[in-house]
Amino acid sequence: MNADRSWPGISHYQVEAGPDWTGSGPLSEDAECDVAIIGGGLAGISTALSLLERGVDSVRVLETDQPGAGASGRNGGFVFAGYSLANDALFTQLGREQATLMHGWTRDAVDLIRDRINRYAIDCQVNDAGVLLADWFGDDQRLRAFQQRMADQLDFELELIDREAMPSIIDSPRYGAGLMEPGSFHFHPLRHVRGLAAHLHRAGVGVHGLSPVKAISRTRNGWQLTAGESVLRAREVVLTTGGYDKTLWPPLQRALQPIATYVAVTEPLQGLTERLVPGGVAVYDTRFAFDYFRPLPDGRLLWGGRISIADRSPDAIRRLLRRDLAKVFDGLGNIEFEQAWGGWMSYARHEMPLLGRTAEGLWHGLAFGGHGMATTTLAGELLAEAICGQPARLARFARWQPLWAGGALGRYAVQTRYWWLQLKDAFRSQTGTGR
Ligand SMILES: Cc1cc2nc3c(=O)[nH]c(=O)nc-3n(C[C@H](O)[C@H](O)[C@H](O)COP(=O)(O)OP(=O)(O)OC[C@H]3O[C@@H](n4cnc5c(N)ncnc54)[C@H](O)[C@@H]3O)c2cc1C
């Protein structure tokens, strides 16, 4: 897999899952289909699958690299509800009824991911211990207030783990209480997306790796995509290129802000990981720029964090994440990370996904940010519904338009905002105030 060309460093997932998935092979001749999907991340693969499950099988996916080479196969592996936009903000923007409805769709998507894993027998190391939000600031009252708001505003019931019970789940004095998200889980994201792609391939849907689309143009009856020497004609096109392309349809993609986050994985720690995270859960915390970590099945610890506009080297990522890890697990500042890597998420200014139709027959599913597993799966459902003539759910996303992200200046503005929010987090963790 040569995502390494755009990001140096091989991921643990690539090493663990073995050679690239070669499925349908590159697009090597001119072809036609009903729906052409550009981008073989979870958004593109889910859209193809949701179409197939509705009986639309004249579908092809074109991917620059291999399915899952982008964020979808390189991420933390947390499968949980919600959008990148904070739940409180979703409620403020939409009011209780609509916010509950749309947040509920992401909970349904978590269930759908699990259901498909079972239905298509995908071996992707599902860990049902769930996802825990751990309180970095030791502010029980605030955490309980958040739990109550989620129940009141979104019908979203989180289970409180009080601070006395926390050591049985995470062995670190760093945290106060925590909130468990029922139904959430963690898994191997690359095995997952490859498993879905393999199912599509077996069902006759072309999933073409090493087929970068260089141009899209209109034809009399639809669209034409140019990939290498070949041309793919389709009635409908779906653009799901994540944070990895800004050139194919600039009026839309100029709304994207590619933001990096980093992950590293230790060697097997001979029982230590089980002692550090006896609950087996995937953990993130209540800061703006939170750490995220989870145990892997063979006793390794996966550690992630940071948000940045910089594509750092694996060694730089190792150094940064080692420092972060030592703040949670004292004495582990010299831990060896076997692999360290990063990936691009794509964000819109409003932090909600961009879902819709830009022109007759040209659809898009972009900007899922750091909450992409459930929301890309949901996007696949909504896009497939709309393509099959039922656009009502997709239409709810029209209020979040592709606003220009500000180009290079926008990137620096974003980085400055992140530093500011990180500073506020640091101030608050020292003083218990600041927000
Ligand atoms: C390090 C990291 C950790 C994360 N952790 C989590 C997590 O734990 N839980 C969670 O829910 N979310 C997480 N996310 C976010 C989540 O991974 C993304 O939101 C989601 O995977 C986006 O999926 P996508 O299909 O839109 O994009 P991608 O997976 O990036 O897929 C886009 C694909 O399009 C292809 N492409 C681009 N241009 C072209 C072209 N011209 N022709 C053909 N193909 C093209 C790319 O090669 C790429 O494979 C994380 C992200 C990162 C980077």
Residue by residue, pLDDT tens for the chain (435 residues) are 333 335 667 899 999 999 888 889 999 999 999 999 999 999 999 999 999 999 999 999 999 999 999 999 999 999 999 999 999 999 999 999 999 999 999 999 999 999 999 999 999 999 999 999 999 999 999 999 999 999 999 999 999 999 999 999 999 999 999 999 999 999 999 999 999 999 999 999 999 999 999 999 999 999 999 998 999 999 999 999 998 888 999 989 899 998 999 999 999 998 999 999 999 999 999 998 899 999 999 999 999 998 888 788 999 999 999 999 999 999 888 899 999 999 999 999 999 999 999 999 999 999 999 999 999 999 999 999 999 999 999 999 999 999 888 888 888 888 888 888 888 888 887 775 433
In a domain, 193, yes or no: yes
Which atom belonging to ligand 1 lies closest to the Cα atom of 76? 8
pLDDT of residue 111: 98
Question: Please, which residues have CB within 8 angstroms of residue 406's CB and are 6 or more apart in sequence?
Answer: 257, 413
Which atom belonging to ligand 1 lies closest to the Cα atom of 45? 25
Query: Tokens 């639309």 belong to which residue?
Result: 56
In a domain, 234, yes or no: yes
Substitution site in 6, 47, 64, 211 for ligand 1 pocket (most atoms within 8 Å of beta carbon):
64
For residue 235, give the CATH number of its domain.
3.50.50.60
In a domain, 70, yes or no: yes
Q: Is 258 in the pocket of ligand 1 (CB under 6 A)?
A: no
pLDDT of residue 413: 82
Q: Is 290 in the pocket of ligand 1 (CB under 6 A)?
A: no
Which atom belonging to ligand 1 lies closest to the Cα atom of 44? 25
Which atom belonging to ligand 1 lies closest to the Cα atom of 248? 41
Number of domains into which the chain is organized: 1
In a domain, 97, yes or no: yes
In a domain, 38, yes or no: yes
Question: Please, which residues have CB within 8 angstroms of residue 207's CB and are 6 or more apart in sequence?
Answer: 23, 24, 40, 45, 48, 60, 61, 63, 67, 197, 200, 201
Name the residue with the closest Cα to ligand 1, atom 9.
Answer: 78
Q: Is 253 in the pocket of ligand 1 (CB under 6 A)?
A: no
In a domain, 212, yes or no: yes
Q: Is 237 in the pocket of ligand 1 (CB under 6 A)?
A: no
Q: Is 71 in the pocket of ligand 1 (CB under 6 A)?
A: yes
pLDDT of residue 8: 67
Q: Is 368 in the pocket of ligand 1 (CB under 6 A)?
A: yes
Question: Of the candidates 416, 60, 110, 93, which has an alpha carbon nearest to the alpha carbon of residue 240?
Answer: 60
In a domain, 71, yes or no: yes
Q: 292-295 and 301-308: which strand pairing? A: antiparallel
pLDDT of residue 225: 98
Cα of first residue to Cα of last residue in the chain, in angstroms, is 43
Domain that holds residue 242: 17-128+187-256+353-404
Q: Is 259 in the pocket of ligand 1 (CB under 6 A)?
A: no
Distance 258 CA to ligand 1 centre (A): 10
- Is the four-CA dihedral 351, 355, 357, 362 of positive or negative sign? positive
Q: Is 42 in the pocket of ligand 1 (CB under 6 A)?
A: yes
In a domain, 396, yes or no: yes
